[in-house]
Each structure stands twice: as C-alpha cells, then as structure tokens.
C-alpha cells in the first residue's frame, strides 16, 4: 500500500518502480463457451477469490489475521473480475484484446492511459 493505493513492483530498465494495481482478474476456462466472458465482482467475491489464490502459514493464526487484513484492503481498493476463457488457443490474442477493451475502461478514469 502506498498513499492508500495498492501498488505492485515493476522492473523497467534495471530499476524497480511501483505501479498502481488497477484490476485483478481471476481466470477460468470453459469448454462450452464460444467467447470471453467477463464479470465484475463485488468486494465480497473479490476477497473470496483473493483468499482462494493466496498462501499462508496454516499453523499461524496471527499470519492469517495479517494476510486477511491485507487482502481485505486490496479487495476494497482494486476492481476485480471473473474472466472465463474458451478452450481456443488460436483465439487467445483476440480474447486478450477483448479483455483490454472491456476491463480497462472500467478501471481507468478520464485522461489515464491504458
């Protein structure tokens, strides 16, 4: 957290910079779908997804408290989406472009770059 914003490290030109985390996407696959399905998640669903995809020391209640608190802060501040991709490797570039068109406008304000 930096200035009440969730940031992630990014290495660029040998230097590490902090970038604002704009969205979290929980990926799934579908053998039946023809296209990409993107669903915005509420904060409760986002927290559940973060917990399911996190690691913690099972024997340490204090570690879990700290982790749960941190995940809650992330869920409160970062948009989260369920993204279901079809089993279509050849179509992956098109699905990535579609995801960018659907998700980025929801997380960026006017004048911000994608």
User: Domain ranges in the chain?
Assistant: 22-107
* Mean pLDDT, rounded, for 48-67: 84
* Mean pLDDT, rounded, for 53-70: 83
In the chain the beta strands, taken as DSSP E runs, fall at 7-12, 15-20, 23-30, 37-41, 79-86
* Mean pLDDT, rounded, for 56-72: 84
Q: Specify the pLDDT at position 108.
A: 56
Q: Specify the pLDDT at position 26.
A: 94
Query: Tens digit of pLDDT for each residue in 68-114?
Result: 899 999 999 999 999 988 887 788 888 888 888 887 766 655 444 43
pTM above 0.85, yes or no: no
Q: Specify the pLDDT at position 73.
A: 94
Q: Specify the pLDDT at position 107.
A: 61
> What DSSP state is assigned to residue 34?
S
Distances (CA, A) of 87 to 26, 36, 82: 16, 10, 16
């Amino acid at each position: 957290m930096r200035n009440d914003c969730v940031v992630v490290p990014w290495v660029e030109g040998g230097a590490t910079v902090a970038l604002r985390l704009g969205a979290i996407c929980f990926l799934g696959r579908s053998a039946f779908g023809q296209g990409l399905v993107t669903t915005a998640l509420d904060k409760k669903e986002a927290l559940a997804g973060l917990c399911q995809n996190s690691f913690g020391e099972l024997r340490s209640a204090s570690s879990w408290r700290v982790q749960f608190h941190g995940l809650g802060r992330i869920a409160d501040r970062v948009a989260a989406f369920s993204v279901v991709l079809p089993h279509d490797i050849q179509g992956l570039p098109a699905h990535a472009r579609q995801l960018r068109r659907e998700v980025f406008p929801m997380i960026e304000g006017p004048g911000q770059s994608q």
